[in-house]
Amino acid sequence: MIAIVDYGAGNISSVKKALESLAADAEVTADPQVIAAATKLVVPGVGHFSRCASLNRLREPVLEAISAGKPFLGICVGMQWLFQGSTESPETPGAGLFAGECSRFHSVVKSPHVGWNQVELRSASRLLSGIADRTFVYYTHSYRAPVVGETTACTEYGGKFSAAVERDNVFGVQFHPEKSGPAGLRILENFCAL
């Protein structure tokens, strides 16, 4: 069972629908026991990084699941949480699994970054398997994560940022695979198949 971790950040139903369309067994939950019993975790999210304060209340069971090797997918703010924090809410710590801090787009581009933009593949990725370079995916965000060693794909928008990160069983995507048409469903399918 895939636990979709509900920490009040919205967009939960879209992720659940998309996983269900792939015949995955997914359950929306904020219960540490259900999280512990899950075989995979998805942390979705849109909106403000301060919402991660409620995610931090589930920090222990989530990090335990990650340590146990269970596949973890963070989407949008769920991916940003994997970093050390965000200037959007400096008092809210991230999980710190990836180095660096999320920050706002430079004022040279319109913010939020809304719409379909392309991923530039950087390295082999289990999550992005079968996704062609320059595939369009759907974004909606004002803050973004830096490009780091674990960045498997980046996107250009007033400079490059991490579109996807991956290390062992930990995956994050800044875009919304549940809203990215066939390409997005393929990515979720890859995650389900891990």
Catalytic residues: 76, 176, 178
Is residue 48 near other proteins by the rule CB under 8 A? yes
Is residue 106 near other proteins by the rule CB under 8 A? no
Helix axes 12-21, 181-192, angle to 10 degrees: 80
Structure tokens at 18: 């998309």
Is residue 130 near other proteins by the rule CB under 8 A? no
Residues 154-193 that bind other proteins (CB under 8 A): 156-157, 178-182, 184-185
Cis peptide before 93 (omega within 30 of 0): no
Q: Report how many residues bind other proteins under the rule CB under 8 A.
A: 33
Cβ 21 to other proteins shortest distance, Å: 7
In sequence order, what are the residues at sequence separation of 6 or more whose Cβ sits closer than 8 angstroms to the Cβ of residue 113? 105, 139, 140, 141, 142, 144, 157
- For other proteins, the binding residue among 2, 5, 18, 102 (CB under 8 A) is 18
Is residue 10 near other proteins by the rule CB under 8 A? yes
Binding residues for other proteins (CB under 8 A): 10-11, 13-14, 17-18, 21, 46-48, 110-118, 136, 138, 140-142, 156-157, 178-182, 184-185
